[in-house]
Amino acid sequence: MKPSEKCIEKTKQSLSALGQIESRTQFGGYSLSVEKIVFALVSDGELYLRASEPMQHYRRHRHLQPYIFYKRGQSLHLKYFRVDNVLWHQHETLLELSRGSLNEARACRASASSRHRLKDLPNLSLNIELLLRETGITTANQLAKLGAKESWLRLKACNSHLGLNTLYALQGAIMGKHLQVLPAPLKAELTSWYQAYLQRVHGPHPAAKTGQ
């Protein structure tokens, strides 16, 4: 077994409390992740943890070597730090630092997702993004949390001309799909909900127009 493979197996055993650790090739070595969140790297048989607040505190007392990635004659310092022999033998500290690295990676992913422009989601135009912002929906996370129906109701209050297709569009945006490829049972459920809404608003026998 190669040194990096041994290091990966050792890491999986030592940090099993974090969850199921997966590995894949990256940066000339391997990345380690839990639920697809990368928190560590393995290179040349050495483990490097992602920078985090607990790591920063730890490094005030002990120096840890940063990970340097070499490519085309240039060096790139990544914010990962080597787990040395001392730290390997401090299991509780190692686990705490690793958990901090994982939490930091999760927070960064959530922050990046929240900055995703609504207009960049499937089916959503700049006009829909502006309307959503008027209703207080400014991020993809907020849209997903509210759901297509509640978001559509908020839009409808701002623009009475919006119809069933916009409801489909919102659901598709949340799922990352074009509205034309939404599963048929889901479209049927949305249509039923939409028609029930029209009945409440316009009476028992509304014309089921799809609208915009």
pLDDT in tens, 31-41: 999 999 999 99
**Residue bearing the bigger pLDDT, 115 or 177:** 177
Mean pLDDT over 191-205 rounds to 87
Residue 15 DSSP class: T
Task: Give 125's Cβ-side CA count (13 Å radius).
Answer: 4
Q: Which spans in the chain are helix H?
A: 3-14, 53-59, 85-88, 91-114, 126-134, 140-158, 164-175, 184-202
Per residue in 12-23, pLDDT (tens digit) is: 999 999 999 999
Q: How far apart are CA 62 and CA 14, in angstroms?
A: 21
Residue 113 pLDDT class (50, 70, 90 cuts): low
- pLDDT tier, 208 (very low <50, low <70, confident <90, very high otherwise): very low
In the three-class reduction of DSSP (H, G, I as helix; E, B as strand; rest coil), residue 188 is classed as helix
More confident call, 184 vs 211: 184
pLDDT classification of 120: cutoffs 50, 70, 90? confident
Is residue 202 classed as helix, strand or coil in its secondary structure? helix
Answer whether 0.75 is exceeded by the pTM: no
Q: 3-7, 116-120, 122-126, 160-164: which has the minimum mean pLDDT? A: 116-120
Q: Is the pLDDT of residue 204 over 70?
A: no
- Name the band, by pLDDT with cuts 50, 70 and 90, for residue 115: low
Separation between Cα atoms, residue 30 and residue 20, nearest integer Å: 16
Residue 208 CA to residue 167 CA, distance in Å, equals: 14
3-state DSSP of 65-110: CEEEEEECCEEEEEEEEECCHHHHCCHHHHHHHHHHHHHHHHHHHH
pLDDT in tens, 131-148: 999 899 988 889 999 999
The tens digit of pLDDT for each residue in 165-176 reads 999 999 999 999
Report yes or no: 32 and 8 within 8 Å, Cβ to Cβ: yes
